[in-house]
Amino acid sequence: MKDLIDLDDWETAEIEAVYRLTDMLKTDPGRFRGALSNQTLLMLFAKPSTRTRVSFEAGTTSLGGHAIYFEQGQSQMARGEALNDTAIVLSRYADGIMARLFEHDSMVALAEYAAVPVINGLTDLLHPCQALADFYTLREKNIEGPLAYVGDGNNVAHSLMQAGAKLGREVRIATPEGYEPDPEIRDRVATADVHITNDPVEAVDGAVAVYTDVFVSMGEEEDKKADFEGFQVTPELMDHTDDGVFMHCLPAHRGEEVHPDVMDGPQSIVYDEAENRMHVQNAILLRLLGASE
């Protein structure tokens, strides 16, 4: 694989290979020390970030490489430099590019013009690294069964649907009316075990994991929180699960999309997910930059 832009471009075998490599990275990290020696990852950010920036930067460093934080708003791109010019030039300086952008079409174009691997660190449509880390976390904990996502049918929901389809996992998505996942993504997973509903109780009934995200996505100016009444993940909603764990991609807004007793309770595996972002991404870097064993 050259890039990670969209999980539909990856075969199940490639995801499984990343997971096996992640297992090795976690159990024997010293084995890969220096694997990215003399390699540079250019991190292009149009959106603010905590986990994406730190996990990629720390991960690249742990593998012996070097990561450069590059903010789009403080570059010539903010003054109208063409994306193709930027992609071509950055490919002359770096061995790989990780980008966190708004428009998904910009990510696709970046990968098209770049001569080095491009990793999608998030777009408004997809968040593949997050979904791969989420399902790896469930796999690591031997949690089998339906995953229920409750909230906005956003980029995280889309990538969970795609990853679930690739891995043969049942995924249920519960959103308020008008916030359902993108029709194109729904069509892509139409033959998979993916179910869409407007009833959060129906989605979480018997689920082994309940997932949520912020109700108002980054960059949305209009406050739409009132539309999500009844979609907060509460202890009462968790009671409908099969001893389910709680998942969140962070940042979390306690008292909005999740009740504090759930977020900070014993069923929460949120911080394990966050840690695994780095380990799974390290495996992706090794695979794409050609340094894996």
What pLDDT is attached to residue 222? Answer: 66
Residue 36 confidence (pLDDT) above 90? yes
* 184-234 tens-digit pLDDT: 999 999 999 999 999 999 999 999 999 999 997 766 656 788 899 999 999
Q: State yes or no: pLDDT of 100 exceeds 70.
A: yes
Give the model confidence (pLDDT) of 153-184 as tens digits: 999 999 999 999 999 999 999 999 999 999 99
Lowest-confidence region among 45-54, 215-224, 266-275: 215-224
Is-catalytic flag, 188? Answer: no
Model pLDDT, residue 16? 98
Q: Could you confirm whether 130 is annotated as catalytic?
A: yes
- What is residue 220's predicted lDDT score, i.e. its pLDDT? 61
Average pLDDT, rounded, for the chain:
95
Domain 7-127+275-288, CATH number (from 3.40.50.1370, 3.40.50.1950, 3.40.50.300, 3.20.20.80): 3.40.50.1370
Residue 238 has pLDDT above 50, yes or no: yes
Three-class SS string for the chain? CCCECCHHHCCHHHHHHHHHHHHHHHHCHHHHCCCCCCCEEEEEECCCCCHHHHHHHHHHHHCCCEEEEEEHHHCHHHHCCCHHHHHHHHHHHCCEEEEECCCHHHHHHHHHHCCCCEEEEECCCCCHHHHHHHHHHHHHCCCCCCEEEECCCCHHHHHHHHHHHHHCCCEEEECCCCCCCCHHHHHHCCCCCEEEECCHHHHHCCCCEEEECCCCCCCCCCCCHHHHCCCCECHHHHCCCCCCEEEECCCCCECCCECHHHHCCCCECHHHHHHHHHHHHHHHHHHHCCCCC
Q: Which of 249, 259, 267, 279 is catalytic?
A: 249
pTM assigned to the model:
0.96
For residue 111, pLDDT beyond 70: yes
Catalytic residue among 51, 104, 127, 279: 127
Confidence at residue 216, expressed as pLDDT on a 0 to 100 scale: 79
Catalytic residue among 39, 72, 124, 130: 130
Instruction: Check 39, 72, 100, 182 and give the catalytic one.
Output: 100
Residue 144 or 73, more confident: 144
Where are the chain's structural domains? 7-127+275-288, 142-268
The pLDDT, as a whole number, for residue 293 is 47
Q: CATH: 3.40.50.1370, 3.30.70.3270, 3.40.605.10, 1.10.3720.10. Which one for 142-268?
A: 3.40.50.1370
- What integer pLDDT is reported at residue 87 of this predicted model? 95
Q: Any catalytic annotation for residue 213?
A: yes
